[in-house]
């Protein structure tokens, strides 16, 4: 498999994070290699083993033994996809870098098309899903709504219905790597760096093997991450709610006073009080909760911990060349 690095050929790095993907990894590898074999680019595969508890690392190592284009970054534990992705990107040496899931939901066959856009001069090429197979109606609907919500709310335009599958030029990647925040919403960060962005569309496949690592709470967490990382609108919304309820309170007070003065009405009692108290209590708690979300993130950022620890690196030829 040994291929020497020549100056005429540029390197395509494929960054693939994997967490418990033992059953699909060989298929992923063969489809990937097949898909890019006609490109006039040297291939570099960067696997990130995100603390898998099955034989994922062993499968990777076996591939690494027979293919010197593979780098394995073995993280010290499971850090989650966003960080695993970052670890892979940190070690990519390529001129163009593709980010792809290892469960074959992002078809490797699309890579030549991504590369074509890159050779046309685009720095970021997004792959947008026009169809998702094998996902529940609930996930499809919530994600449809969420992407549109986020698009409206966030300060930068995060492409809708676009996962992490995309290509970055070296220039865009270098920019991205300077962003070291702990709360990483990669889809947002990719967009945040800017540069010329292009888009291709595809139908998202079902998982080849295994099952999704996201449960409902995990997705909710990611959704919050996206919102809080790229918008302070919720904070403003909290102030707005406070303002509105204070205004409503004042309005009520005036009406009650006027009714008392003009008609001598007895002041209506208990039920309306309870309604008001619970309403205002709810608004206050909501506002506090929103502030808490942001405060918690500020807290995490100030701890200034490294993003991840690497247990072991098995370098490809490229990475070995680049050392020292």
Residue selected from 9, 68, 80, 198 as contacting ligand UDP according to rule CB under 6 A:
80
Question: What is the residue-wise DSSP string for 135-162?
Answer: --HHHHHHHHHHHHHHHHHSSS-PPTTE
Strand intervals (E) in the chain: 10-18, 41-49, 70-75, 96-99, 124-132, 162-169, 197-204, 310-314
Residue that is written with structure tokens 């295994």 in the block? 210
Part in contact with ligand UDP (CB under 6 A); list of ranges 173-181, 207-215, 233-241, 277-285:
207-215
Residue 144 is a binding residue for ligand UDP (CB under 6 A): no
Give the shortest CB-114-to-ligand UDP separation in angstroms: 17
CB 280 within 8 A of CB 249: yes
Q: Which does 317 bind (CB under 5 to 8 A by kind): ligand UDP, Mg ion, none?
A: none
Which residues from 7-66 bind ligand UDP, rule CB under 6 A? 17-19, 21, 50
In the bound complex, what is the minimum distance in angstroms from residue 35's beta carbon to ligand UDP?
A: 16
- In this structure, the chain runs to a length of 324
How far lies 148's CA from each of 130, 159, 160, 232, in Å?
14, 9, 7, 17
Q: Is 101 in the site for ligand UDP (CB under 6 A)?
A: yes
By the 8 A CB rule, do 313 and 93 touch? no
Q: Does 251 bind ligand UDP (CB under 6 A)?
A: no
* Positions in the binding site for Mg ion (CB under 5 A): 103, 105
Contact status: 81 vs ligand UDP (CB under 6 A): yes
Strand 10-18 to strand 41-49: parallel, antiparallel, or no bridges (unpaired)?
A: parallel
Which of 32, 43, 64, 103 binds ligand UDP (CB under 6 A)? It is 103
Q: Is 213 in the site for ligand UDP (CB under 6 A)?
A: yes
With CB under 6 A as the rule, give the number of residues binding ligand UDP. 16
Assess 212 for contact with ligand UDP (CB under 6 A): yes
SS3 content of the chain, % helix, strand, coil (to 5): 50, 20, 30
Q: Which residues bind ligand UDP (CB under 6 A)?
A: 17-19, 21, 50, 78, 80-81, 84, 101-103, 105, 212-214
């Amino acid at each position: 498999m040994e291929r020497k690095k020549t100056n005429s050929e540029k390197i395509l790095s494929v960054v693939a994070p994997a967490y418990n993907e033992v059953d699909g990894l060989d298929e992923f590898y063969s489809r990937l290699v097949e898909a890019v074999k006609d490109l006039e680019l040297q291939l570099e595969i960067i696997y990130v083993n995100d603390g898998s508890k099955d034989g994922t690392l062993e499968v990777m190592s076996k591939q690494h033994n027979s293919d010197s284009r593979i780098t394995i970054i073995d993280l010290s534990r499971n850090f989650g996809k966003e960080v695993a992705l970052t670890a892979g990107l940190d070690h990519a040496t390529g001129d163009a870098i593709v980010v792809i899931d290892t469960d074959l939901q992002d078809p490797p066959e699309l890579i030549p098309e991504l590369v074509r856009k890159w050779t046309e001069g685009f720095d970021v090429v997004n792959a947008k899903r026009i169809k998702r197979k094998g996902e529940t109606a609930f996930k499809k609907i919530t994600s449809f709504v969420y992407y549109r919500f986020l698009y409206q709310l966030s300060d930068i335009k995060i492409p809708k219905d676009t996962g992490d599958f995309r290509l970055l030029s070296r220039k865009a990647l270098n920019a991205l790597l300077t962003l070291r925040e702990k709360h990483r919403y990669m889809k947002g960060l990719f967009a945040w760096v800017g540069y010329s962005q292009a888009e291709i569309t595809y139908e998202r496949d079902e998982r080849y093997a295994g099952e999704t690592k996201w449960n409902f709470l995990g997705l909710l967490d990611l959704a919050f991450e996206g919102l809080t990382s790229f918008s302070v609108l919720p904070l403003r919304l909290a102030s707005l709610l406070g303002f509105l309820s204070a205004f409503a309170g004042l309005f009520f007070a005036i009406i009650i006073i006027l009714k008392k003065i003009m008609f001598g009405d007895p002041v209506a009692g208990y039920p309306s009080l309870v309604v008001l108290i619970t309403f205002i209590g709810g608004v206050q708690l909501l506002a506090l909760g929103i502030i808490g979300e942001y405060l918690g993130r500020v807290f995490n950022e100030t701890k200034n911990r490294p993003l991840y620890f690497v247990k072991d690196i098995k370098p490809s030829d490229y990475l070995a060349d680049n050392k020292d």
